[in-house]
Chain A
Amino acid sequence: MSDDPVRRQGPPEERRRQRFISKSSAVSLKYLRRVEELPHMPEALTPFLHILGHVFVEQGGAVKPEHIPTVGTYCVMVPPELIYAAGAMPVKLCGGSYTAFNIGDDVAPRDACPLVKAVMGFETVGAAPVYRECAMIAVPVTCDCKKKLAGYLGERRPTVALHVPSGRDRDEDMERFVEELYAFGAKLTELTGAPLSYERLSWACGLTAAAQYELSRFITLRRKAPLVIKGTHYMAAMNAMSYTHISLWTRHMRALCDELEQRIRNGEMASKENRPRILVTGSPIVFPNFKLPLLIEEMGGALVADETCMGERGAYDPPAIVDQSTDGILRALANRSTRPCTCPTFVDNKRRLYRIRQMIEDYRVEGVIYHVLRGCLVYDYEYRAMEEELGKLGVPIIRVESDYNEEDVEQLRIRIEAFVELIKYGKR
């Protein structure tokens, strides 16, 4: 039977793993191709796509120097500086895989969000080296799904549940989060043997500062010329950040900015001037779940900005270190990772409305698409306030709900196409 082309080798578990790998590689490859096929792709985007291909198609590990261990993180509230300072490297593991989702669907309750189901799927099947190779995992306790995920992962491997305050206006809350970071730091030291000294921390802050510098350059370029790069291409670059050593990513980002600057000088744009300019906000958009950005641009919209936690939200200003000491840095990091954050898991999140208003102005946005992953209550809750706010500004908004499968693509397409037309015809 060994030459049977569809019969896999080994025990059932192993055969399932192999099937999983080939299926998820195929889906990732398909989406990678669609990203590549979008016209006006900058040449400097290629290395970012290689990273996504390496991780999701070739099923390789994180892209990094060999000896460095990786620490899996979720959300934007785990300060990468701590991990780099300890001599490890963070990889952001929020999942976007439809294949993994299918497996996680059997583990998580029906109404859990697909992002967390995908993570549970990866964990259950034990494939995907980026997941497997992590020496430790840090899960911020934010929404209910993440909370239960922390518990689930904790039963299986070394996991730190990072208790993020749900409010950020009281000193006690911040104090507690600083303590959390200390405890997390101690775990990291246990793992690598490297103490979190002032020198190491400030060196790590330098690493992320360099990345943030390039990112802020990128954001400035894009504010000046919202159409200089397709939104899907931008999202691919941001997604690649999750799986790459930050110095490497910074280098790729620098090259991308250089190319975009050149484009602007040459008056070369990635989209026609009269295309409706759209901003995406809402639940995370994680590769390969790129159907939404792809549909927007394929249906004639220009995706000029995104306010999601895989996009600009990860690009806060560098930590403002007031007190030049280890404690000073930790406090600065605690502040940086929570205060400006627009994640809806905070009790009060008015700043998200401010941020959106700001972005609408900066990128001259003409319509907002509000993405809700099925079961992602925290984002769904905030829709109403957003709709009200945008109503005052006269900026149209639609809510689109989607899941990790391709069955809803046509429904999404109809809505997105009609939304693009709504803006187009509304302009005349």
Chain B
Amino acid sequence: MKVYAGLDGGSTYLKAALIDEYGRVLRTGVTSTGIDNNASAKRLLAGLMEACGVSRVDYTMATGYSRKILEVADDDVSEITAHAYGVRVTAPKEYRSGMIVDIGGQDSKIIYLDANYTVKNFTMNDKCAAGTGKFMEVIAQILETTIDQVGPLSLESTAPCDINSTCVVFAQSEVISLVARKFDRRDILSGMHLSMAKRIIKMMKKSEKDGDVLMTGGGALNIGLRKAFEDELMRDVFVANYPQFNGAIGAALLASERG
């Protein structure tokens, strides 16, 4: 059996995936990036290999912010390409190739694909954290809950609050004032998801709005955010399998084309 590895070095987490020559995901893993990226990557990969009982990896591809410094990798590729490749493996069967909405910790991006999953174009927001996982974390903290609870809690909302600021700092103070005015935190959370979804939808190219939408990245795990997207776009939104590992899986798939 041939084994290929993909590494996705983000700002806070380092993610890895092993796949076989048929593009099946063998194992995924995550660790915090730490100070020594390279050592963390080596440890993470070794752990995954051991868990799968394999002794060698045929080719390793890196992506993400720290991809250039991950010496364990044989080559590297940008996140856009990696994500576009990843969905070939992670997209649910019903998904027709169209648009990927990736909501990561520090940035979110939209990738437009043609029918063959080839990248046609992309838009990114990376100057402002509003519309990213980091933003969700900050708000969860203010509302004294955890990141995995924000989704389920928001689904219970009956009257979502308005959160209009497009900047994290202002949105944060808006939320604080909503708390002070004794609004239900479920309504605040629901409002937050709607405002995030709106912000990201604004980034979408008008000409490309018809394709199916697939969510990837840690943000895709948030059921509340997914519902907000569906409400705002007024249609179904798909969620990738292993959404937070999509970049790593894509990198591994690219590796399999090399080795």
B77–A421 CB distance below 8 A = yes
Q: Quick one: closest B residue to A398, CB to CB?
A: B121
Chain A CB within 8 A of B187 CB: no
Chain A neighbourhood of B81, CB < 8 A: 418, 421-422, 425
Chain A CB within 8 A of B95 CB: no
Chain B CB within 8 A of A248 CB: no
Given contacts A391-B207, A418-B80, contact A411 B127 (CB under 8 A): yes
Contact with A along B15-27 (1 / 0, CB 8 A): 0000000000000
Given contacts A391-B207, A411-B126, contact A417 B78 (CB under 8 A): yes
Chain A CB within 8 A of B124 CB: yes
Chain B neighbourhood of A422, CB < 8 A: 80-81, 119-122
Given contacts A391-B207, A425-B81, contact A418 B122 (CB under 8 A): yes
Chain A neighbourhood of B78, CB < 8 A: 414, 417-418, 421
Q: Quick one: closest B residue to A387, CB to CB?
A: B207
Q: How far does the Cβ of B258 sit from chain A's closest Cβ, in whole Å?
A: 12
Chain B, interface SS category: mixed
Q: Quick one: closest A residue to B127, CB to CB?
A: A411
Sample 18 A-B pairs with CB under 8 A, ordered by A number.
Answer: A388-B207, A391-B207, A396-B120, A398-B121, A398-B122, A411-B124, A411-B126, A417-B78, A418-B78, A418-B79, A421-B77, A421-B81, A422-B81, A422-B119, A422-B121, A422-B122, A425-B81, A426-B118
**B residues contacting the other copy or chain, number (CB 8 A):** 14
Q: How far does the Cβ of B223 sit from chain A's closest Cβ, in whole Å?
A: 29
B126–A425 CB distance below 8 A = no
A426–B119 CB distance below 8 A = yes
Chain A neighbourhood of B119, CB < 8 A: 418, 421-422, 425-426
Pairs of residues from A and B, 8 with the lowest C-beta to C-beta distance, nearest first? A418-B80, A418-B78, A422-B119, A421-B81, A417-B78, A426-B118, A421-B78, A411-B126
**A residues contacting the other copy or chain, number (CB 8 A):** 15
Q: How far does the Cβ of B81 sit from chain A's closest Cβ, in whole Å?
A: 5
Given contacts A421-B78, A422-B80, A422-B81, contact A415 B121 (CB under 8 A): no
Chain B neighbourhood of A414, CB < 8 A: 78-79, 124, 126
Cα(A421)–Cα(B254), bound, Å: 12
Give chain B interface residues in 106-132, CB to chain A under 8 Å: 118-122, 124, 126-127
Cα(A254)–Cα(B89), bound, Å: 55
Q: How far does the Cβ of B112 sit from chain A's closest Cβ, in whole Å?
A: 10
Given contacts A391-B207, A411-B127, A414-B126, contact A421 B80 (CB under 8 A): yes
Residues of A within 8 A of B (CB): 387-388, 391, 396-398, 411, 414-415, 417-418, 421-422, 425-426
Cα(A415)–Cα(B111), bound, Å: 12
**Other 19 A-B pairs with CB < 8 A, given A422-B80, A426-B118:** A396-B120, A397-B121, A411-B124, A411-B126, A411-B127, A414-B78, A414-B79, A414-B124, A415-B122, A418-B79, A418-B122, A421-B77, A421-B78, A422-B81, A422-B119, A422-B120, A422-B121, A422-B122, A425-B118
B124–A415 CB distance below 8 A = yes
Chain B neighbourhood of A388, CB < 8 A: 207
Q: How far does the Cβ of B250 sit from chain A's closest Cβ, in whole Å?
A: 11
Contact with A along B63-85 (1 / 0, CB 8 A): 00000000000000111110000
Q: Quick one: closest B residue to A422, CB to CB?
A: B119
Q: How far does the Cβ of A65 sit from chain B's closest Cβ, in whole Å?
A: 48
Q: Quick one: closest A residue to B85, CB to CB?
A: A425
Q: How far does the Cβ of A168 sit from chain B's closest Cβ, in whole Å?
A: 30
Cα(A388)–Cα(B79), bound, Å: 26
Chain B neighbourhood of A426, CB < 8 A: 118-119
Cα(A425)–Cα(B122), bound, Å: 14
Cα(A62)–Cα(B207), bound, Å: 48
Cα(A426)–Cα(B79), bound, Å: 15
Contact with A along B170-211 (1 / 0, CB 8 A): 000000000000000000000000000000000000010000
Chain A neighbourhood of B127, CB < 8 A: 411
A396–B126 CB distance below 8 A = no
Chain A neighbourhood of B126, CB < 8 A: 411, 414
Cα(A391)–Cα(B126), bound, Å: 26
Q: Quick one: closest B residue to A399, CB to CB?
A: B123
Q: Quick one: closest B residue to A418, CB to CB?
A: B80
Cα(A398)–Cα(B126), bound, Å: 16
Chain B neighbourhood of A411, CB < 8 A: 124, 126-127
Q: How far does the Cβ of A418 sit from chain B's closest Cβ, in whole Å?
A: 4
Q: Quick one: closest B residue to A416, CB to CB?
A: B78
Q: How far does the Cβ of A389 sit from chain B's closest Cβ, in whole Å?
A: 12
Q: Quick one: closest B residue to A423, CB to CB?
A: B119
